[in-house]
Amino acid sequence: RQGVVVITGASSGLGLAAAKALAETGKWHVVMACRDFLKAATAAKAAGMAAGSYTIMHLDLASLDSVRQFVENFRRADMPLDSLVCNAAIYRPTARQPTFTADGYEMSVGVNHLGHFLLARLLMDDLKKSDYPSRRLIILGSITGNTNTLAGNVPPKAGLGDLRGLAGGLRGQNGSAMIDGAESFDGAKAYKDSKICNMLTMQEFHRRFHEETGITFASLYPGCIATTGLFREHIPLFRLLFPPFQRFVTKGFVSEAESGKRLAQVVSDPSLTKSGVYWSWNKDSASFENQLSQEASDPEKARKLWDISEKLVGIV
Ligand code: NDP
C-alpha cells in the first residue's frame, strides 16, 4: 500500500517541496498540515501536485487546542500514519518584542517546539499502530542552533541555559520570554533556541521509544534554502543579499527543490533507517551523519526539556 506522511507547514518552502517530491513518487499520500487552507491549496496546485495525491488538513501550531483538534480530525479521516515530519517554523530575526501563542507562550518556541512536541507525542500512538515497514518521526533541525559550526557562531548564539525561562512559562510579562531566562527578548536567538529544542527532542524520543517501537527518529539540516518564506520578516537588504551570499560566498545555498528531495530521502530512503541521527549533505549532495554541538546533544538537558515541555502542553 501507499505510505501516509503528515508534513507540517507544507504550504511553502521546504515542506511544500518535500510534499511534492514524495507525492510524485506515487508511493506516498501526503497530508499537508497547514494553518492557512487556501494558501496550501493554491501552493499545491501551483507546484503541480496531482489531485488525489494529497489531503490538506488545518493545523495551527500556535494553539494547543488546534493541535489536539488536528489529531482528532486526522484519526476521523481513517488513514494510517506511517511518517510524521515536524517541519513548520517561524523566524522573527528582527523582533525586539515577543508575541505569544493562544496559550500564552513566546511564539517562536511555542510554534517550532511546543506545538510540535504535543503533536508528536499524541501521534506516537498512531505511528505505533502502523504496519508500514519503516515508520519515521522527523523533526527539522538547523545548523544555526549548533555552536560547533561557523554559522552556529554568528551572534546571537543559541543557548538554553538552565531552562529557567521555559520552566517559568515563557510568558514575558511576569518572567522571561526567553528559554534561558534572559530579561530582554531576542527574536533571532529565540528561533535558534527553538531549533536546539527540536534536535534535543528528537534524541529524547529516540532514547525513550526507539527500542520498544522500532520507529526511526531523525533530524536534519537540509542546507541553506535562502529563498524560502522563513526570511520574510528580515530587513529587505538582507533578503536581497542573503541568497547570492549563500550561493557564491559560503556555497551553502540549496534550492527549494533540492532541499525537498533531501527531506523526502529522510522520509523514505531505505538506507536512512538509522535512529537518533542528525543528517546533513555534503557538496555532492550525499547524505552523512553529522555531529551535533555539545548542548544540542546533552542528554540531561533533553530530559529536563522533555519534562518541562510536558507540563507546558498539558501532558502529565
Ligand atoms: P517557510 O517559511 O517557507 O515555511 C514554513 C512553514 O511553516 C510555512 O508553511 C508556514 O505556514 C508554516 N507555519 C508557520 N507558523 C505556523 C503555525 N503557527 N502553524 C502551522 N504552520 C505554520 O520556511 P522553510 O521552508 O525555510 O522552513 C521549513 C523548516 O526548515 C523549518 O523547520 C526551518 O527551521 C528549517 N530550516 C530552514 C532552513 C532555510 O535555510 N530555509 C535552514 C535550516 C532549517 P504559512 O505558509 O501559512 O506561513
> What is the pLDDT confidence band of residue 257, given thresholds at 50, 70 and 90?
very high
What letter does residue 178 receive in the DSSP assignment? S
Q: Is pLDDT above 90 for 192?
A: yes
pTM of the model: 0.97
Query: In ligand 1, which atom is closest to the CA atom of 112?
Result: 32
The rounded Å distance from CA 167 to ligand 1 centre is 26
CA nearest to 254, candidates 46, 14, 19 = 14
Query: In ligand 1, which atom is closest to the CA atom of 60?
Result: 19
Which tens digit of pLDDT belongs to each residue from 126-155?
999 999 999 999 999 998 877 778 777 888
Query: In ligand 1, which atom is closest to the CA atom of 36?
Result: 47
Mean pLDDT of 177-205: 97
- Before 156, cis peptide (omega within 30)? yes
The rounded Å distance from CA 115 to ligand 1 centre is 13
The rounded Å distance from CA 140 to ligand 1 centre is 10
pLDDT the model gives residue 198: 98
What letter does residue 137 receive in the DSSP assignment? E
The rounded Å distance from CA 212 to ligand 1 centre is 31
